[in-house]
Amino acid sequence: MKINILFYCCLLILITSCSTPKNISYFQDAEEIRGMAVQAEQQFRLRPEDKINIVVNSADPMLESQFTLTTINRNNILGADYSPTVTAGRNTGSNSQVIAYTVDEQGDIMFPVLGKVSVIGKTRTEVADFISKRLIERDLVKDPIVTVEYVNLGVKVLGEVNKPGHINVTRDHFTILDAIAYSGDLTINGQRNNVIVSRQVDGADQTFIIDLTSKQDVLQSPAYYLQQNDVVYVTPNPKRKRESTGNGNAFQTPSFWISVASLLTTITALILR
């Protein structure tokens, strides 16, 4: 009788050790918050060291060529002894490439003819509208179509995701869910309720914690819309942490508890004899 009781106790320990619940489902409160307002859309706003391409199109090719800087790769034309050169004319040939403008520490770029243009804190649409208006006001181009594209904007995703690394961003809105999707989703060992977003704002570090199991928490987080240079870190769960040691997960394996149960049963049988 005592042996049976001991056997069932060991069996209970074995079952509970092998059935560790994993909180891996996203948006577990989705039905409860139907119709909830989403965090207001946030666009990327230019900062020092950001790079942008600016292309000016016009009905007059001679005019537009003055405002779109390009490089001509002379290596492809004259041989390896020549380095790329810069020209103010826009060359649409296969050997040319539009030059990126780098925002300086004061938040300015040097634009052809217009000179210094402040772009800090502006979206790419606002930069395009500003340059277009300046060209018209100074009677430089009557019908400009100005296009601004991001060059080096991106975020980093680290930790328990399938494809960690740097993600280049070319559109205006980029969310935490976009970053996770581009990273191939979280691994089974990633903590869904403890995703960290680190952000630099005016020289100060800000940290946000996002719980992916709660749709409400995700949609209302200030870090739902990511900003350039944000770092997303998916923390490992306890199982992954234990794997950092040699026998960290030994106590969680079925074979370990089977051995324990067998040993206890043997010891009990010997004592009863």
Report the DSSP pairing between strands 154-159 and 231-236.
Answer: parallel
Q: From 179, 64, 47, 44, select the one nearest 102 (Cα to Cα).
A: 47
CATH number of 51-150: 3.30.1950.10
Domain 51-150 and domain 154-240 have a common topology: no
Q: Does 154-240 carry CATH code 3.50.50.60? A: no
Tell me the three state secondary structure of residue 187.
Answer: coil
Distances (CA, A) of 29 to 22, 177, 216: 17, 16, 7
Reading the chain (273 residues) residue by residue, the pLDDT tens digits are 545 554 555 555 545 444 444 577 899 888 887 777 777 788 999 999 999 999 999 888 777 778 887 764 444 433 333 333 333 333 444 456 778 999 999 999 999 999 999 999 999 999 999 999 999 999 999 889 999 999 999 999 999 999 999 999 999 999 999 999 999 999 999 999 999 999 998 889 999 999 999 999 999 999 999 999 999 999 999 888 788 765 555 455 566 556 656 666 677 666 766
> Which residues, in sequence order, are CB contacts of 18 under 8 Å at separation 6+?
254, 257
Q: What is the pTM of this model?
A: 0.72
Residue 196 to residue 198: CA distance in whole angstroms: 6
Domain range summary for the chain, segments of one domain joined by +: 51-150, 154-240
* In contact, 251 and 14? CB cutoff 8 Å: no
Burial (CB count within 10 angstroms: exposed 0-12, middle 13-18, buried 19+), residue 15? exposed
Give the H/E segment covering residue 57. strand 51-57
Chain centroid to CA 116: how far?
32
